[in-house]
């Protein structure tokens, strides 16, 4: 970890890239007002758990290589080998995509399948209560 600056009296702390970085080997930034992004994780075992909401809002990727490959496939410079080599670097490298990709993030705690089966999940971010209060207020 290193202090890269200060925001008032609070230090801005940053972890260097590498295999032990909490965000894994790669992160995918996209414009949003919440500082949310997609990222790898060194804790791949978390994907085998039933409850996987261990981040602070960012989205862990089980297969970041596959997302990188998909996003870069139209650029002939980025072969599988080149992407893999990039992802094991110890220094930071920024790649700007040639194409803009829309990103839609949704949060559902219940849904119905085509056969009418209804499914429910735990509301780990406590949004349902807030939504219900707005929907059913007098």
Phi, psi of 110 (to 5 degrees): -155, 150
**What is the pairing mode between strands 27-28 and 2-7?**
unpaired
Please identify which of the residues 56, 58, 119, 127 carries the catalytic annotation: 58
Please identify which of the residues 39, 56, 119, 127 carries the catalytic annotation: 39
The CB density around residue 118, as the number of other CB atoms within 10 Å, is 8
* Residue closest to 92 by CA, chosen among 37, 21, 36: 21
- Measured CA to CA, the distance from residue 114 to residue 126 in angstroms comes to 27
Question: Which letter does DSSP use for residue 38 in this model?
Answer: E
**119 is known as an active-site residue:** no
**58 is known as an active-site residue:** yes
Sequence-ordered list of residues with C-beta below 8 angstroms from that of 20, at least 6 positions apart, any chain: 42
Active site (catalytic) residues: 39, 58
């Amino acid at each position: 970890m290193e202090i890269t600056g200060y925001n008032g009296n609070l230090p801005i702390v940053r972890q260097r890239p590498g295999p032990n970085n909490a965000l894994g080997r790669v992160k995918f930034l996209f414009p949003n007002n919440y500082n949310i992004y997609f990222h790898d994780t060194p804790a791949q075992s978390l994907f085998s758990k039933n409850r996987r909401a261990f981040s602070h809002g960012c989205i862990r990727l089980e297969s970041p290589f596959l997302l990188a490959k998909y996003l870069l496939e139209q650029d002939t410079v980025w072969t599988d080998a080149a992407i893999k080599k990039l992802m094991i670097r110890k220094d930071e490298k920024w790649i700007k995509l040639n194409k803009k990709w829309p990103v839609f993030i949704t949060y559902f705690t219940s849904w119905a399948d085509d056969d009418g089966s209804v499914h429910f999940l735990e509301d780990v971010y406590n949004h349902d209560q807030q939504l219900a209060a707005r929907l059913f207020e007098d």
